[in-house]
Structure 1
C-alpha cells in the first residue's frame, strides 16, 4: 500500500469512528492531533468528509435505492452496517475515479456507476449484496444494478469478482463479445482487445457469445479452469488451479511467472508502468524464467535479468532496452 493510500485508509477510519455513539472528547483530541501532524492528513480527511456529505445527500433519495450494490448502495445505505462500505467507496472514488447516476425504469430504480484505475493502480468495490469487485491496473468498467439485475461491463483491463449467491438472480459480466454468467463464485476476467480470459478460483461460470451472435453451446468453466475466448472460439485449459492462483497474485501487488518467456514477462510488467521494457534480441526474448516479483518495481526485475543472464540494459526516455550482452 502506498503512503497516500495508507493515509486515506486511516482518514476513512477516523470518519467511521466519529459517527459511532461511543465517540468521546478524548477521541476528538486524538483526531485533532493526527490532523496537525501533516497537511496530507488534513487534505485526505477533508476530501473524505466532503464525499461523506455527498453520500448523505444521495441517501436522501429514498429507501428504494438501498438494494443496488456498488458505489450507489455503498454511498447511500445508512448507519453502522454500511458506513464502512460507504467510506471505502468514497476512498475508491477519490483514488481511482468514478461516476455515479440513477435513472428510473418503470417501478425499478437502476443505479449505474463507472470505475477507472490508472496504470499501476488497483481498487476495490464493496457491494451491498455481499459481493466484491477488485480492479487491476489500467481497468475501466461500469455497472447497472437494480432489484432485478446485477450487470457489469468490463471495457478494458482486469477484474476479480467475489460474487455472493442469490438464487434466480444471476450476476452477468459482459467483456467484448463474451457474456459470463454466474450465481455465486470467485473468478477473474481479463480483456485485452478482443481477447478475453476467464479464470475460476471457486465454483463455475458459463461463457456465452454476446446477444445476437450465434454459438453452438456455451462453455462451462469450473474451479481451476482457464478459458481464452476470441471471436467465436473458446479454449478451456482444465485443472490449472496453480496457474489461476499465480494469475491472481496481482491482488497482492505481485507478478508470478512459471517458465514464462522474458518477452511475455516484460509485457506483463509493461501493464503496470509507464516505463516499458523493450526486448530487441529474439534469443533473449525466448529465455524462460520463473519467480515472484513486485509489479511496481520494474527496476528490480531488470537488475535481476542483468545479473543472472549478463544482459545489456540501457535506458532511453520512457523505455528500458534489453539485448544480449
Structure 2
C-alpha cells in the first residue's frame, strides 16, 4: 500500500466517523440502509477499517458491537495527536451509548491504554504495558488493555506464553474463546483453536472459567495442571499435565505429536494452516500419528500424510483438504 500523509483535520474526521458508526451499529433502530452505508464506508479505505477496529479495542466492546471480518490493513502513518482524536471520539461514544453513559476510567470501564501485537512467520517476544512478558506463537494475535481495576488481554487467535508481573491490586485477565483466565502474577500458556482453549500452568495459580459470564464457576489450577474448554462448556475440564505432554514445545520451534489420533492431532496441526484439514469420517479420525515437526514447516506435513498413514487426500467444496481412509468410500463432500 502506498503511504500517504493526512492532515490532523482529515484524521479527526475519519475517527469521528468511526465513532459515529460504532454508535449506529449498536443502536436498536439501525436500518438496513445504514448498515449498507457503513459497509461501503468501511470498505472504501483501509484507514476506515483501521479506525473502526481501534475504536472497538479502546472501548473493549467487541462483544457488543458488530465487527467486520477482514484482514487487518497495513500500518498507516499517524499524527502525534492520534490519542487526542481517539479520546474525542471516545467522548462522543460515551454520550451516545446508554451503556457507556455511566462509565469511564473511574468506574473501571474505559481503558487508559491499549496495545495490539501479532506474530506471523516467527515466534515473537513482547513486553506489555504493565511489564508482563509474552511469547506469541506463529499466527497469533492479542490485544492488551489497562483498566483501573484490572489488566485485560484478549487472545484473538493462536497461542501465547505469559509471564505476568505480580500485582494483587490489578488482576491479569486473559480472555480466550468464550472463557477467561484470571491471575495476579504467574507463568502459563494459553492455546486456542476455533472454540477450543487449553491452559497449561507452569508457576503460580490461575482461575479458569469456561464462560465470561460464569467466572464464579472457575476452576483453580496449581502448577502441573491443565484446563481445557470449548464453547458451551459449563466448566473447564481439569487434569494433571501428563509426563509426555509437549504443549510448550512450540517455544523451541517444535510441534510434537505423541501417537495422537488424527481427531486430537488435527486441531494442533490446523492451528498453523490457512486451510484446515478435515476428516472424512470417524474411522479416519481414529488413525494415529506421531513425530516432531518444525512449526514453520507444518504446512508441508499435510501432503506427506499419505506417505505415513493409510489415507488419501481429497478436497471438499470449500477447498479444504480432506483425509480419507484407504479402502473406504469417501464421504459426500
TM-score, normalization by structure 2: 0.55
Counterpart for residue 309 of structure 2? 309
In structure 1, the partner of 2:127 is 126
Is the 1:262–1:289 contact (alpha carbons within 8 Å) kept by the matching residues of 2? Answer: yes
Question: By percentage of residues, which structure has more strand?
Answer: 1
Following TM superposition, by how much is the alpha carbon of 1:256 offset from its aligned partner in structure 2, in angstroms? 1.0
1:238 partnered with 2:254:
no
1:165-180 maps to which residues of 2 (within 5 A)?
165-180=166-181
What is the RMSD of the two structures over their aligned residues, measured on CA atoms? Answer: 4.0
Q: Distance in 1 between matches of 2:259 and 2:137?
A: 23
In structure 2, what is the equivalent of residue 182 of structure 1? 183
Deviations 1:51-101 (A, max 9, x none): xxxxxxxxxxxxxxxxxxxxxxxxxxxxxxxxxxxxxxxxxx99999x995
Q: Which runs of 5+ in 2 are unaligned?
A: 1-71, 88-103, 327-333
| Contact 2:205/2:221 (<8 A) preserved | yes
Separation in structure 1 between the aligned mates of residue 243 and residue 131 of structure 2, nearest angstrom:
25
CA shift, 1:146, in A, is: 5.6
Contact between 1:223 and 1:241, CA under 8 Å: does it hold in 2? no
Q: TM-score, normalised by structure 1?
A: 0.56
1:208-219 matches, within 5 Å, as: 208=209, 212-213=213-214, 215=216, 217-219=217-219
Question: How far off its partner does 1:220 sit?
Answer: 0.7
Distance 1:96 1:276 in 2: 28
Alpha-carbon spacing, 1:187–1:109, altered in 2? closer, same or farther (3 Å): closer
TM alignment of 1:82-231, pairs within 5 A: 105=105, 110-117=112-119, 122-127=123-128, 129-145=130-146, 149-208=150-209, 212-213=213-214, 215=216, 217-230=217-230, 231=233
Report how far residue 206 of structure 1 moved.
1.3
Which blocks of at least 5 consecutive residues in structure 1 are unaligned?
A: 1-92
Residue equivalent to 2:38: none
Aligned to 2:49: none
The offset of 1:237, in angstroms, is 0.7
1:242-267 CA distance string (max 9 Å, x none): 42xx1122233321112211243233
- Cα contact 1:96–1:123 (8 A) shared by 2: no
- How many residues are matched? 229
Separation in 2, partners of 1:315, 1:212: 39
* Residue deviations 1:276-307 (CA, integer Å, cap 9, x gap): 43443643331112221123324643465333
Shift of 1:319: 4.6
Contact 2:193/2:271 (CA < 8 Å) preserved in 1? Answer: no
CA–CA distance in 2 between the matches of 1:299 and 1:193? 18
